[in-house]
């Protein structure tokens, strides 16, 4: 048993008996100093897969360089695999040795691909994953597209509590997103746009029985989101996200406060009461301090936070309402 082969397999966590390492060195690949482990991949079949003839002749080697996992991204690791080729003496069909380390005709190891899939579950960019794995960002993107069914296209499942919204992506373009409204808020799907037809076509892929299991759909004040929820999820209750309600009320209150304030002279008591300490007006009433007195330099007197807000609200009945 070759100790070089044993040590390399132990370090790289490779167990395939058909792969035999016999050499390693440093090489400059893509302008980087890289570790290269050289191995022979033996052909382990005794019979021709085409005709069953048992006499196979050696027909050289096919050399491939495979990207492998690296502990340090600045020093990538490659496997130089010399795959044995054989030819059948009877039907003249040729075959090449394969290994569990890498798929046939592929130059990225299975261990590297597995690492990429695990990294895609984290909150990381594709570029950072690519640098860590020693591959290109476009390859990471291609893996995500190829295995999209694994992550987001199970047409027999939808969260019981669904939430939908939009977000601004690269180039300022708006995208549609729907998530699990409960638990860890896992992403269900991201669409390249937020058009009503695109969203409807996506949810139509799910059988009616699956859509009927959705109990609540949380949306913002966008009217066509509610239309989509009613059409696609007839059994679900539509919930307006309270964040948007609070935001709408806050904007309305601030607009009324500013309009009321501008009716008075800038040096008047009413103007100064509404102009300054505006953060207190937006504070939850239960959190306003009604015990500790502070000196308000704009009103030139001592009062509590609650008294400060009450004085401002008494100026205008509409504002108070």
User: Within 13 Å and on the Cβ side, how many CA atoms surround 283?
Assistant: 15
What is the pLDDT at residue 149? 55
- Which contiguous run of DSSP H or E holds residue 25? strand 19-29
Q: What is the mean pLDDT of residues 28-39?
A: 91
Whole-angstrom distance, CA of residue 63 vs CA of residue 37: 13
pLDDT digits (tens, 9 = 90+) for 75-129: 899 999 999 998 888 888 888 888 889 988 889 999 998 888 888 777 788 888 8
Edge-to-edge strand ranges of the sheet holding 174-180? 187-191, 174-180, 161-168, 216-219, 237-240
What is the pLDDT at residue 152? 55
Q: What is the mean pLDDT of residues 293-315?
A: 84
User: Does residue 30 contact residue 66 with C-beta atoms inside 8 Å?
Assistant: no
Indicate whether 20 pLDDT > 80: yes
Whole-angstrom distance, CA of residue 321 vs CA of residue 77: 69
Indicate whether 133 pLDDT > 60: yes
Indicate whether 1 pLDDT > 80: no
What is the pLDDT at residue 151? 53
pTM above 0.75, yes or no: no
Q: What is the mean pLDDT of residues 134-155?
A: 75
User: Does residue 62 contact residue 85 with C-beta atoms inside 8 Å?
Assistant: yes
pLDDT digits (tens, 9 = 90+) for 150-162: 555 678 888 899 9
Indicate whether 214 pLDDT > 80: yes
Q: Which of 12-16, 108-112, 118-122, 253-257 has the lowest mean pLDDT?
A: 118-122
Indicate whether 237 pLDDT > 80: yes
User: Does residue 210 contact residue 155 with C-beta atoms inside 8 Å?
Assistant: yes
Q: What is the mean pLDDT of residues 153-178?
A: 84
What is the pLDDT at residue 153? 63
What is the pLDDT at residue 27? 92
- The DSSP symbol for 212 reads T
**Confidence band (pLDDT; 50, 70, 90) for 191?**
confident
Whole-angstrom distance, CA of residue 188 vs CA of residue 197: 18
What is the pLDDT at residue 150? 54
Helix locations, the chain, DSSP H = 3-12, 110-119, 126-133, 137-146, 148-152, 196-204, 208-211, 223-232, 242-261, 269-275, 278-281, 305-313, 317-320
Whole-angstrom distance, CA of residue 89 vs CA of residue 276: 95
Indicate whether 184 pLDDT > 70: yes
- Give 78-81's long-range contacts (Cβ < 8 A, gap of 24+): 78/27, 78/29, 78/34, 78/35, 78/36, 78/37, 79/12, 79/36, 79/37, 79/38, 79/39, 79/109, 80/36, 80/37, 80/38, 80/39, 81/19, 81/39, 81/40, 81/41
Q: How far is CA 29 from the centre of its chain?
A: 31
Of 109 and 55, which is predicted with more confidence?
109
What is the pLDDT at residue 36? 93
The neighbour count for residue 16, using CB atoms within 10 Å, is 16
**Confidence band (pLDDT; 50, 70, 90) for 132?**
confident
User: Does residue 214 contact residue 235 with C-beta atoms inside 8 Å?
Assistant: yes
**Confidence band (pLDDT; 50, 70, 90) for 28?**
very high
What is the pLDDT at residue 281? 83
């Amino acid at each position: 048993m070759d100790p070089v082969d044993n040590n390399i397999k132990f370090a790289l966590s490779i167990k395939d008996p058909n792969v035999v390492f016999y050499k390693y060195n440093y090489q400059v690949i893509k302008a980087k100093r890289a570790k290269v482990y050289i191995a022979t991949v033996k052909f382990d079949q005794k019979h021709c897969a085409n005709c069953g003839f048992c006499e196979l002749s050696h027909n050289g080697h096919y050399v491939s360089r495979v990207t492998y996992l690296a502990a340090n991204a600045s020093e990538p690791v490659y496997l130089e695999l010399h795959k044995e080729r054989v030819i059948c003496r009877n039907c003249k069909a040729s075959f090449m040795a394969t290994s569990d380390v890498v798929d046939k005709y592929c130059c990225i190891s299975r261990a590297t691909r597995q690492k990429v899939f695990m990294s895609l579950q984290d909150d990381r960019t594709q570029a950072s994953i690519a640098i860590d794995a020693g591959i290109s960002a476009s390859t990471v993107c291609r893996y995500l597209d190829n295995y999209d069914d694994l992550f987001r296209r199970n047409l027999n499942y939808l969260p019981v509590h669904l939430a939908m919204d939009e977000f601004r992506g690269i180039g300022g373009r708006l995208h549609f997103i729907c998530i699990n409204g409960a638990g860890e808020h896992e992403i269900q799907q991201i669409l390249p746009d937020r058009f009503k037809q695109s969203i409807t076509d996506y949810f139509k892929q799910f059988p009616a029985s699956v859509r009927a299991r959705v109990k609540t759909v949380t949306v913002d004040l966008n009217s066509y989101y509610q239309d989509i929820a009613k059409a696609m999820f007839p059994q679900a209750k539509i919930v307006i996200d309270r964040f948007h309600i609070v935001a709408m009320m806050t904007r309305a209150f601030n607009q009324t406060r500013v309009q009321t304030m501008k009716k008075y002279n800038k040096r008047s008591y009413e103007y100064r009461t509404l102009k300054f300490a505006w953060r207190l007006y937006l504070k939850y009433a239960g959190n306003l301090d009604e015990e500790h007195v502070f000196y308000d330099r704009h009103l030139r007197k001592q009062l509590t936070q609650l008294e400060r807000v009450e004085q401002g609200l008494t100026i205008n009945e509409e504002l108070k309402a």
